[in-house]
Structure 1
Amino acid sequence: MRVLVTGAYGFVGTAVVHRLSQAGHEVIALTHRAPSAPLPVSPAAGTRYADLRDADALRDAVHGIEAVCHLAALTRVRESFERPDEYRNVNVGGTQALLDAVLAQAQATGTPLRFIHASTAAVYGVPEIQPITEDAPCEPKTPYGETKLAADQAVAQAAGTGSIGVIVLRAFNISGAVAGHGDPDESRIIPKAVAVAAGRASHVDINGDGTAIRDFVHVDDLARAYVLALDACEPGKHRVYNVGATPASVSDIVTETERVTHRPVPVVHHPPKPEPPTLTADTHRIRDELGWKPERSTLQEILADTWAAAGA
């Protein structure tokens, strides 16, 4: 299958391109970089260039495509408070522009397309009932979560046309590394702990006692979910799946980082902030319906792969 992957050279995109290529798909990478800019080594069969906000370029980019894995987005929660309009333009407006191009392609060819949409646990906010199921009410608490929920709603509406099938993958906290490519965002706890162990940062900040638990999944396990979702996607149907694997606290991560790296990870404690003690994923649906299960998402393997990619 010829699959367009948006955000193909990003952290998650790199892993998805590798898995799709290994599964025998012809992967076309979409990037908003200038055509003259150097690109990372990738198994993608080709590259197309378009900004999500450029409708004309998107129509050209989807020509001849049979499926789309839509990963491109702005994803930094704290930054979304500072740049809410930009987050809405890219995450909502860009997704709608891509959908418009895909629907036009499907209608022109008379062949429905498959659309796998990268979503996030941030759309749920802080549900009282844990673990979080796909049927939990969506009450995002951040501009980032609000824009991703709006994008989720747009792809669901598009599925109702019958011209595309849609599967939405709501990932929890993604980490690890594939092909030496880890998460560069050191505002997140695992990249930050590894940066401290590598000497690129002085300490990890912990609010309160560090016992708040979040759900983590290895980026390669998430990438396998995209392959399975692509196979299962059906025209006119819309399904949502959580993707999570390993609950862990900040303290667990610091301790395991020291064990894996054999380096100290100093912490600085701050007064506790109001935050839910636990946010974890119920993954029964994706396990039962797609046959997915985590294979590399122990905290040890996530950290070992992150450390190896850091090159310290």
Structure 2
Amino acid sequence: MRVLVTGAYGFVGNAVVRRLSEAGHEVWALTHRPADAPLPELPVARVFHGDVRSPESLRGALDGVQGVCHLAALTRVRESFEHPQEYHDVNAGGTATLLDVLAQQAEGGDAPTVVLGSTAAVYGAPEQQPIGEDAVPAPTNPYGLSKLAADETLQKRALSGHLKAVILRCFNISGAVHGFGDVDDTRIIPKALAVAAGRYPHLEMNGDGSAVRDFVHVDDLARAYVLALGPRSTAPCSVYNVGATAASMSEIVSTVERVTGRNVPVVHRPPQPEPPQLVADTSKITRELGWKPERSGLEQLVTDGWSALTGERH
């Protein structure tokens, strides 16, 4: 299958491209990086440079594709409060534009499959835990709102019969593939690793560190994309949670210290009004796609992230 991956050179895109290629797909890549910018080596057949908000950027990239893994997005929650319109334009508007062009390109042919990289942020902070796909979305930030708008746009297009759709609502993604890890130190594991590496003097933590979140290895997530492109139910659009390991903030710090052999000083800030626990119910993706995590233990997540950051092998 010829598959276009948008955001192919990002943290998740890198892992998805590799897994798709290993599965025998012909992978095309779309990147927002300038045409003269150096790109990491990836097993892609063609590279397109452009913006998902631009139909002109998408026409060639979508020519003759049977599948799309749509990963291009803005993803920082705090930043989304400062630039809510940009987040909406890229995440929701970019998705709508991609689907418009795909419908034009695929007219008269077989319905392509679109796998959208969504987020647990669309759920907000539901009281019912673990969170199932039937939870009523209630995002609490512009990032979550923009991704929910993208979800809803894809669901509506799928009902028209012109495409098949899968939405993967990912929880916290970490780990690394081929030395390519998450460099976004607004997230807890990359920040704790950066403190261990001496790049910051300490880690700031709201409250006592007892808040629990769900984490999944980027390689396990990439396998979910491959499975989502394969045979599945006849539903026009399927939604799946992708999470794996529940861990508290304190557990993350202690695991980073154990794996790296270095101290991670923590400065505790006053507690914030945030949910004590956000955990995924992944029974649906296990039941319907046969997915299960293989590399998402907390120690593996931290070890792989540390190796990518420092070049040290364990």
- Identify the TM-score tier after normalising by the shorter chain: over 0.9
Question: Is residue 210 from structure 1 mapped to residue 192 from structure 2 by the alignment?
Answer: no
Q: Which residue is 1:89 aligned to?
A: 89
> What is the rounded CA distance, in whole Å, between the counterparts of 2:234 and 2:48 in structure 1?
25
> What is the rounded CA distance, in whole Å, between the counterparts of 2:163 and 2:230 in structure 1?
14
> What is the rounded CA distance, in whole Å, between the counterparts of 2:53 and 2:286 in structure 1?
35
Q: Which residue is 1:259 aligned to?
A: 258
The Cα shift of 1:235 comes to 7.4
> What is the rounded CA distance, in whole Å, between the counterparts of 1:176 and 1:295 in structure 2?
12
Question: Is residue 221 from structure 1 mapped to residue 210 from structure 2 by the alignment?
Answer: no
Q: Is the 8 A contact 1:66 1:113 kept in 2?
A: yes
AA in 1 matched with 2:41? V
> What is the rounded CA distance, in whole Å, between the counterparts of 2:255 and 2:294 in structure 1?
18
- For residues 71-122 of structure 1, the C-alpha deviation after alignment (integer angstroms, 9 at most, x for no partner) is 0000000000000011011001110000001111121x42210100000000
Q: Is the 8 A contact 2:28 2:61 kept in 1?
A: no
Q: Which residue is 1:147 aligned to?
A: 146
Q: Which residue is 1:119 aligned to?
A: 118
RMSD: 1.1
> What is the rounded CA distance, in whole Å, between the counterparts of 1:34 and 1:184 in structure 2?
20
The Cα shift of 1:212 comes to 0.4
Which 10-residue stretch deviates more, 129-138 or 44-53? Answer: 44-53
Q: What SS does structure 2 have at the residue aligned with 1:231?
A: coil
Q: Is the 8 A contact 1:91 1:147 kept in 2?
A: yes
Q: 1:191 to 1:200 in 2, by over 3 A?
A: same
The Cα shift of 1:146 comes to 0.1
Equivalenced residue count is 311
- For residues 2-59 of structure 1, the C-alpha deviation after alignment (integer angstroms, 9 at most, x for no partner) is 0000000000000000100010101001112221211111111221122111112212
In percent, how many aligned pairs have the same letter?
61
Q: 1:236 to 1:137 in 2, by over 3 A?
A: closer
- For residues 170-228 of structure 1, the C-alpha deviation after alignment (integer angstroms, 9 at most, x for no partner) is 00000000011111100100000000011111111111110000000000000000000
Gaps of 5+ in 2: none
Which 10-residue stretch deviates more, 133-142 or 201-210? Answer: 201-210
AA in 2 matched with 1:59? R
Q: Is the 8 A contact 1:165 1:234 kept in 2?
A: no
Q: Which residue is 1:2 aligned to?
A: 2
Q: Is the 8 A contact 1:114 1:235 kept in 2?
A: no
The Cα shift of 1:60 comes to 2.0
AA in 2 matched with 1:7? G
> What is the rounded CA distance, in whole Å, between the counterparts of 1:123 and 1:193 in structure 2?
26
> What is the rounded CA distance, in whole Å, between the counterparts of 1:233 and 1:83 in structure 2?
37
